[in-house]
Structure 1
Amino acid sequence: MARPVIGIICNHYLINDEYPVHAGGTMNSDAISAVSGCIPMIVPSDPDFVTVNDLMDACDGFLLTGGRPNVHPEEYGEDATEAHGDFDRARDAIALPLVRACVERGQPFLGICRGFQEVNVAMGGSLHPEIRDLPGRMNHRMPPDGTLEEKFENRHTVSFTDGGVFHRLMGAQEVVTNTLHGQGIKQAGARVVVDGVAPDGTPEAIFIKDAPGFTLAVQWHPEYQAAQDPVSRPLFAAFGRAAQAWADGRRLTPAQVA
């Protein structure tokens, strides 16, 4: 049986600050291949190269990855400031309509970090430019120093809604995750259900209410050592089951794969 194809929505990047590429971390591809059981396909996230319809015809599901560029605040009706950081407008132009199309069609996606924020903005929500500047919030950003292992180490708990989608999927109401983000949900978009939060109240896990397909997104980075991590593994495995169902002509909601 052919493996489902997962389009990995990646970022613009400059090698040596001069050679432009579309880049996605190899740990994303590893998680999709080893845990989801799917074929990872890097997507040039630019409307000059692909359309949403092209991608939906070519892929069985989508991984909306993290990345340094943020969603441009114009997408949620605000002006850009220095606190909003760098942007990738070409990715905005692909990822946001792609999320909406997948929600309507029932085609599965999994959002990670920036991808989590894209899902919220695509559904009409807004973002805080810098979580750590809010009263009572912790610093969720990546530690500036240390090894890769130290930067991706688990740093806080995430508490899920009792009996909710993530609780059933993980088999636990509280898990421990890494945290490597500056921005976060300010106002949840239409039908966006916040199903998990950090100790400081920052939204960490969402899905789309009444969507006909798999629409999960998380603010942390589950792709890191996904095959070994007890939180990451069930998330990517469930995503793989949803993608296989789509490839077989069926649709599975998060509740059905949990």
Structure 2
Amino acid sequence: MNKPVIGVTLFRREKDKSNSKYGTINCNYVRAIVEAGGIPLLIPIVNQPQDIKYYLELIDGLLLSGGQDISPEFYNEEPVDELGEIDPDRDSWELKLFTEAYKKKLPVLGICRGMQLINVALGGSLFQDIYSQYDDSLLHTSSDGESCAYHKIIIESGSKLEEILCCLDSLYVNSYHHQALKKPGKNLKVVARSDEGIIEAIEAEDSDQRFLVGVQWHPEDLAGVDDKSLSNHCFQQLFKSLISSAENNS
């Protein structure tokens, strides 16, 4: 059997002041997919909607990666002052890419921004800034904005996510975000929250028919191949479940 090919979305960064932009990705995404038995295929921001069908013919599953804030124009809100860096071209491209993957019932895992994008694509909305719009006492990102914070999440009993994560009902996860889900989109159910009520994971209501999971934390940074702890093993199970679902398409 061929190894499943997993498309991984890239984000763009300016390397210097020359206006040159670079497509980039954290290598931990790639490592997690490879260790789970898949072949990562990096998908750049192309903004040629007619080419989406060709990308989807090449892949057996899709991983929507983290990155910048999602522009509120895509869920019909005006931006707040605390909105961070946005890339509307990326938003537009990935929303179209996900929509077509969703129609094909391609297995999809969304991480951080990726979960938020799934929600917006299915008609949901976001807190543009949880500190000013939800609770300014939360700790979901570090003071320097670079290193991660950690907090506990509670996982819904009987959910697909609970099954994937070693049937654990709670976990400590990392956190780099200041946006979060507000109104869940269509066909999505909330399956994990932080102690303060922030939505930490979603999955499809028809999870018996499709693999569609979104998590707010970054499991690729926690699923270390050299760490033998139970929790790190369980985070890697997210990627193994994506690969297992994608095998039916390979």
TM-score, normalization by structure 2: 0.89
Q: Distance in 1 between matches of 2:70 and 2:50?
A: 19
Shift of 1:106: 1.1
Letter in 2 for 1:192: L
Paired residue for 2:162? Answer: 167
Structure 2 residue 182 is the aligned partner of structure 1 residue 186: yes
Give the aligned partner of residue 87 of structure 1: 86
Residue in structure 1 matched with residue 239 of structure 2 by the alignment: 236
Shift of 1:82: 2.9
Whether 1:10 aligns to 2:42 is: no
Name structure 2 gaps, 5 residues minimum: none
Cα shift at 1:50? 7.0
**SS of aligned partner of 1:83:** coil
Instruction: Look up the SS of the partner of 1:46 in the other structure.
Output: coil
Tell me, in whole angstroms, the C-alpha distance in 2 between the residues paired with 1:115 and 1:195.
Answer: 16
**Which amino acid in the other structure matches residue 192 of structure 2?**
G
1:103·1:213 contact (CA, 8 Å) conserved in 2? Answer: no
Report the equivalent of 1:157.
152
2-side partners of 1:142 and 1:111: how far apart?
Answer: 22
Task: Report the 3-state secondary structure (helix = DSSP H, G, I; strand = E; otherwise coil) of the residue aligned with 2:220.
Answer: coil
> AA paired with 1:15?
K
Deviations 1:222-252 (A, max 9, x none): 01042331331111111111111221xxxxx
> Aligned pair 1:218/2:231, yes or no?
no
Name the structure 1 match of 2:191.
Answer: 195
Superposed, which structure 2 residues align to 1:1-258 within 5 Å? Answer: 1-18=1-18, 19-35=20-36, 37-48=37-48, 51-67=51-67, 69-133=68-132, 134-135=134-135, 138-144=138-144, 151-152=147-148, 155-170=150-165, 171-210=167-206, 212-226=209-223, 227=225, 228=227, 229-247=232-250
| CA RMSD after TM alignment | 1.9
**TM-score scaled by structure 1?**
0.86
Structure 1 runs of 4+ off > 3 angstroms?
none
- Distance in 2 of aligned mates of 1:136 and 1:12: 29
Distance (whole Å) between structure 2 residues aligned to residue 197 and residue 210 of structure 1 = 20
- Deviation of 1:217 (Å): 0.8
Equivalent position SS for 1:118: helix
Give the conservation status (yes or no) of the 8 Å contact 1:175–1:231.
Answer: no
Alpha carbons 1:160, 1:167 under 8 Å: kept: yes
1:136–1:200 contact (8 Å) kept in structure 2:
no
* Structure 1: runs of 5+ lacking an equivalent: 248-258
Q: Post-superposition shift, 1:218? A: 0.1
Q: Matched residues, percent identical?
A: 28
